[in-house]
Amino acid sequence: MSALIVLLLALFVPPASAQVITALPPATGGDPAGEWQADSTGYQVYVPPDLSSLNLTFSGRLRGRFAVKRDSTYTANYIVSAKASVNFLGQRTFDLTDTANASGRYSVRGTRMIVTGLDSANSVDTLSYSVKADTLLLMVPITDPRVTAFGIRIILVLPFRRDTVSPGVSADFNGNGRVDFDDFFMFAEAFGKQRGEVGFNAKFDLNADGAINFDDFFIFAERFGGSG
């Protein structure tokens, strides 16, 4: 995903409430292979019960895509906007927004997915996960040093839903052989239209659900810079 597009999302999409929980949902594993997406999705934040006295609250949302292939490779293009407010010697607020824009290899061991290159080129992360029907729950620890320096273990429970978009749909709207900013501006003009409304054009409805929305935006962003 273009870094510029990720930045635009971070700046212009307002946060939503995130649910604080004091017990992690059980990780059940399953087959993670597939194309997964999240569009303005709320998520849960696991906070240890002994921190409840701090009145810790979160706001944020999850947007983006997580592709897990059967050849043991993955591509992550998502952003987790997160602001934490804590009552400790007065009310303090921290911006913990995290962007995953990476690809690498993965392996599965029971209910854990071991991924390389998610945080940095040489990083190796072990993430608990669950696949239930068309939902993938990915449990991602917060690694911000402002949190980890105090030995605090906070985990984001990120929900993605399975994407069934046909790979043959093209995002090269002007037909010049590449997906570039000309296509982006065309898409932006059509954004928000629904089938039956004046100005709706099905070629911008990349997942064919009858609406040109953020689901289509993330499909476009994934193909940005390519040939279609």
Instruction: Report percent pLDDT > 70 for the chain.
Output: 88
Q: Is residue 11 part of a domain?
A: yes
* Structural domain total, the chain: 2
DSSP secondary structure of 17-36: EEEEESSPPPP-B----EEE
Inform me whether the pLDDT recorded for 166 exceeds 70: no
Residues 26 and 95 in one domain: yes
pTM, two decimals, is: 0.67
Residues 95 and 194 in one domain: no
Question: Domain holding 217: CATH number?
Answer: 1.10.1330.10
In a 13 Å sphere around the CA of 179, the CA atoms on its Cβ side amount to 19
pLDDT for 24: 92
As a whole number, mean pLDDT of residues 170-194 equals 88
38's tokens: 């999240």
In angstroms, the first-to-last Cα distance of the chain is 14
Q: Is residue 131 part of a domain?
A: yes
Q: Which residue has the higher pLDDT, 222 or 136?
A: 136
Where would I find the H helices in 23-144?
none
pLDDT for 171: 87
Partners of 101 in the beta sheet?
A: 77
Long-range contacts of 131-134 (CB under 8 A, 24+ apart): 131/28, 131/29, 131/30, 131/31, 131/32, 132/28, 132/30, 134/161, 134/162
Q: Is residue 176 part of a domain?
A: no
Residues 14 and 74 in one domain: yes
Residues 52 and 158 in one domain: yes
- Owning domain of residue 117: 3-162
